[in-house]
Amino acid sequence: MDAFVITGPTTLMGEVSISGAKNVALKAFVASLLTTDTVTLHNIPIIGDVLLMLDVLKHIGVEVEFINNTVTLRSPDSLIHTVSLEVGAKLRTSSLVVGPLLARTGMATIPNPGGCRIGARPIDRHILGLQKMGASITYDSTDGFFHVEAEKLHGADIIFDKNTHTGTETILLAAVLAEGKTTIQNAAEEIEVDDLINLLNMMGAKIQRKEKRVIEIEGVSSLHGTEYKILPDRNEEVTFAIAACLTDGSITVSSSTRSNLIHFYEVFSAVGGGIEEINETTTRYFRKFPISSIAIETRPHPGFMTDWQAPWAVLMTQANGISEIHETVFESRFSYVKELMRMGAVISFFDPKVSNPESFYNFRWHDQPEGYFQAIRIKGKTDLHNAYLAINDLRAGATLVLAAIAAKGVSYITGVQQIDRGYEAIDKRLSKLGANIKRINEGNI
Ligand code: EPU
């Protein structure tokens, strides 16, 4: 296992290109199961989760070629309908293969999905939707697998009680080849969902977003191959914007998608972040004013994304005054806090007053374990210092790397494979921006 050794503080300056969006790539691979033609996908990041998801597809029989940042996939006539525990349980998106496998084989057997440990992350909303489309689903607690069957799925009117990003995508991937029309109400608005819709429509699907949160899918009898370039990763762009402001540097980002970051920009500018539009797809980020404190609340798109709150917390350690972060999407996404406190950050947990928590929070509030807090208060400004740090989820990992770059002294970060799951060659790209970061074997610390 790898670890990072980071010596700070450094000011990050220079140019960086944004990779393709992980949270589109993983679903785009699954779309290729819907046809026996070849599907070619460009702008695919070379990251751990992509390699794991390609493994899931290889195990069920898909031919995969991954050269540079292009993946070519071809599903043969016959597919294996079981996702093995060995590969499937490592990745939440493995459950997305259910709809396409039902369309192709009438059966799907999948392990309880894994992914980042940021809460219970059940898939009950996905299951209710698939059942409404005619799937028979049983969970066998003796083997940990969902056993799903359907001769042919049919269209249905699906109403999600709460936002679900991959739940919406599960239904999309199941409905494109189902008999008749499916309507998803309270569908996720995330731009990654729309990119998947674009790809599926290029393959011959008939999907329309009728209103912001209503998607209509007219089932078709077959799909065909295509070539598609997935959109850049907005979460990565936010990470670099925060890095520039945090270190009082200047980072120019190419493959920038400003239109996807409107809510982030409101908050970023409000605390002193600078945004300069260089051209349509290039943006420079920097610190315009001394960083000031703010209270934010995470929400599904178009709100402040839950994926941004961990790096945001590091920025707020450099703000004068008290900042607050209220996490409303996942029930456990503050694993990085105790690590930041090790570096001198002054952070306390609290539970904000919420009048109807069950409907307000995106997770299942009544199932929340004892001792979880949904918000933090950060008192700044604090000079961060070096520490030994452990990473346990992807965004938290990027957060600790930023903190170590801004902190005084030599920090050691273990669990780097969590960052490698979602950020392509983060150490090399940060080095080019001036960071003093070295990758070593964990055993050498
Ligand atoms: N939820 C349920 N039941 C369900 C589905 C969701 O209780 O059936 C709960 C979840 O446990 C969570 C909340 O509802 O508390 C929201 O879940 P959602 O389904 O919207 O999120 P997700 O699909 O698990 C995706 C991304 C996340 C991103 C969120 C929010 C992928 C693979 N993952 O997660 O990305 O934070 O949407 O947009 O697309 C990451 O990239 O590191 C990451 C975690």
Per-10-residue mean pLDDT for the chain, 445 residues long?
96 98 98 98 97 96 97 97 89 94 96 63 91 95 91 97 97 98 98 98 98 97 98 97 98 96 97 98 98 97 96 98 97 92 97 93 85 93 96 90 98 95 96 98 85
pLDDT at residue 92, as a whole number: 85
- State in Å: Cα 186 to ligand 1 middle: 15
- State in Å: Cα 369 to ligand 1 middle: 18
The three-state secondary structure class of 164 is coil
Looking at the CA of residue 128, tell me the nearest atom of ligand 1: 8
- State in Å: Cα 249 to ligand 1 middle: 32
Q: Which residues line ligand 1 (CB under 6 A)?
A: 22-23, 26, 92-93, 116, 119-126, 163-167, 190, 306-307, 329-330, 362-364, 394-395, 422
Residue having the nearest C-alpha atom to atom 20 of ligand 1: 164
Which segments of 116-263 are extended strands (E)?
A: 136-140, 145-149, 157-159, 181-185, 206-211, 214-218, 226-229, 250-254
Pairing relation of β-strands 145-149 and 136-140? Answer: antiparallel
pLDDT at residue 119, as a whole number: 59
Select which of 57, 89, 108, 116 is catalytic: 116
Q: Which two tokens stand for residue 279?
A: 């051209």
| 116 is known as an active-site residue | yes
Residue having the nearest C-alpha atom to atom 21 of ligand 1: 165
Q: Which long-range contacts link 83-87 to residues 24+ away (Cβ below 8 Å)?
A: 83/56, 83/59, 83/108, 83/109, 83/110, 83/111, 84/59, 84/111, 85/111, 85/144, 85/145, 87/52, 87/55, 87/56, 87/59
- State in Å: Cα 166 to ligand 1 middle: 6
